[in-house]
Chains A and B, each alone.
Chain A
Amino acid sequence: MALHRGRGFAAINYPIGMNLGGDPSQALVHSNPDGKFTVALSSIDLGQGMKSVTRQIAAETLGVPVADVYVDTADSDTGPHCMGSFASRGTHRVGNAVIQAAQEARAVMLQAAAEELEVDPADLVTDGQGNIHVNGAPSRSITTMAACQAAQFKQGRTVSGRGIFLIPLSEVDPETGEMTPVSCFAHAALLVEVEVDDETGEVAVRDMQSAYELGRALNPKLVEQQLVGGAWMGMSHALWETTEPYYPDRSHGPVDFNHYLMPGPGDIAPHHISVLERPAPDGPFGGKGPGEMCANPVLPAVANAVYDAVGVRIDELPITPEKVLRGIRANGGAKPRQRLARGAR
């Protein structure tokens, strides 16, 4: 009886967003008289960083400090329409809608500033610190707050903007079956090392190496956070989570966390991540977004690693100890595909 090491590889070509009847999201941006901006969205932040990223995008486009932007995703009844936070679409779809809305609001803000400064709005620039000034003449300036107040109290303008980003429905060609459902793909490659116990059938993930190409990383720490957490979830799907393996029927299935299993903090493995930034032509500031892709490649990579370690090809998830043991028995024992240098680590 022995522990067998194995390595598995998987690569992924991942579509951003979906195309069931078209894929739109809207954003509305308006200023308050204090010169702060509100971005209204119906795109819910589940913890993945939707609010942070749309806030950065709005601030960058408006030319104001991030601290001056508030993102409100509170109410999908009253907010502008969004398809939702799924399909890895948030950064790409909603980010583009926010850029459009913020550009329109910025144009009004510059018109208001131009009227106060008695200059042409085309000559104005923002410094990102809350000031608008004449290009090349920083002393001819007005704060964004003063411009927004002038719009509100003197000029009778709303400093506001509307944005929508739509990937229209792609019809299927009846002759060829061809369609173009997606405009933007992200990519990843992942290498997993596992240890398989041929006595118990247990599989432990020992190491993960990954490379992700996901456009420009608009917030690198949030990207890393998604990749680390997502890989854990992929590992969990590969080896633990299921409602199925209970006998004799589904009424004996898991109803709580004692039976619906997930890896705990003692089951995790070092994960070495490389992020390749290749800005997407149609992404907001080149961003695509990590999304669901951060979990997906782990599953096939683990399955391949188990095959590498003991020669058992398991094609039904999760890869439970029972399936591994049955496979080893059917093969007449563990059949490691290669011997890895065990002393190397």
Chain B
Amino acid sequence: MAKTPIVFVLNGAERASFAEPGQNLLEFLRRGVGDLSPKYGCGQGTCGACTVTIDGQTHLACLTLAESVTGRRVQTAAGLATGATLHPLQEAFMENFAAQCGYCTPGMLISAKALLDRNPNPSREEVVEAISGNICRCTGYEPIIEAILAAAKGRARA
């Protein structure tokens, strides 16, 4: 079967690449486009490690057909930093020791960013809700919740 050309916007820049027939967005991003920041955890939408946003809404890349992002804006954790300057959420994750092995971190960051973009001053309960689809094995979640709340506070100050 023929490969499908896909033109979309990845982290603010237009990209074009070929998708295999039936390829999911996670494989397309990692193998086709070369963005390794979304992680393969379970491949069936239960761990959240592959979380990306499409037009600002969080999606599980492993359950999304690559072709469906044609003409749309995709954001991954690779697009959070500007050059050597980390995104405030990344800074907050660092300051709050919110990463250990780091495998869940890209998905956590994207879930957190989607939350703060629509709700700049979330409550603790809203933060918990926002990351409830992201599994972490190391941190016990508390440092991640603290980091997201700290990032929200920092943004409110700025």
A binds B: yes
- A271: nearest residue on chain B (CB-CB)? B142
Chain A residues contacting B141 (CB-CB under 8 Å) are 232, 264-265, 268
Considering only residues 132-158 of chain B, those with a C-beta below 8 Å from chain A are 132, 135, 137-145
Contact in complex: A257, B101 (CB < 8 Å): no
Main SS class of interface, B: loop
* Complex CA distance for A266 and B130, rounded to whole angstroms: 10
- B129: nearest residue on chain A (CB-CB)? A266
Contact in complex: A225, B143 (CB < 8 Å): yes
* Complex CA distance for A225 and B138, rounded to whole angstroms: 9
Chain A residues contacting B97 (CB-CB under 8 Å) are 221-222, 224-225
- A262: nearest residue on chain B (CB-CB)? B135
Chain A residues contacting B132 (CB-CB under 8 Å) are 264-266
Chain B residues contacting A47 (CB-CB under 8 Å) are 99-102, 138
A173 within 8 A of B: no
* Complex CA distance for A46 and B138, rounded to whole angstroms: 9
A231 within 8 A of B: yes
Contact in complex: B128, A266 (CB < 8 Å): yes
Residues 137-157 of chain A: 1 if any B CB is under 8 Å from the residue's CB, otherwise 0?
000000000000000000000
Say how far B71's CB is from chain A's closest CB, in angstroms. Answer: 32
Say how far A88's CB is from chain B's closest CB, in angstroms. Answer: 16
- A259: nearest residue on chain B (CB-CB)? B46
* A257/B140 contact (C-beta < 8 A), A222-B97, A225-B97, A265-B145 known: no
* Complex CA distance for A228 and B98, rounded to whole angstroms: 11
Chain A residues contacting B100 (CB-CB under 8 Å) are 46-49, 225, 229
* Complex CA distance for A225 and B140, rounded to whole angstroms: 9
- B47: nearest residue on chain A (CB-CB)? A257
A249 within 8 A of B: no
Residues 215-227 of chain A: 1 if any B CB is under 8 Å from the residue's CB, otherwise 0?
0000001101100
* Complex CA distance for A232 and B127, rounded to whole angstroms: 18
Chain A residues contacting B66 (CB-CB under 8 Å) are none
B44 within 8 A of A: yes
Residues 103-128 of chain B: 1 if any A CB is under 8 Å from the residue's CB, otherwise 0?
00000000000000000000000011
B interface residues with partner A (beta carbon < 8 Å): 42, 44, 46-47, 97, 99-102, 127-129, 131-132, 135, 137-145
**Given A262-B135, A268-B142, A271-B140, 19 extra CB contacts under 8 A:** A46-B101, A225-B97, A225-B139, A228-B140, A228-B142, A228-B143, A229-B139, A231-B140, A256-B42, A257-B135, A258-B46, A264-B132, A264-B135, A265-B131, A265-B145, A266-B129, A266-B132, A268-B140, A268-B141
7 contacts between A and B (CB under 8 A): A47-B138, A228-B139, A256-B44, A257-B47, A265-B144, A268-B140, A271-B140
A interface residues with partner B (beta carbon < 8 Å): 46-49, 221-222, 224-225, 228-233, 256-258, 262, 264-266, 268, 271
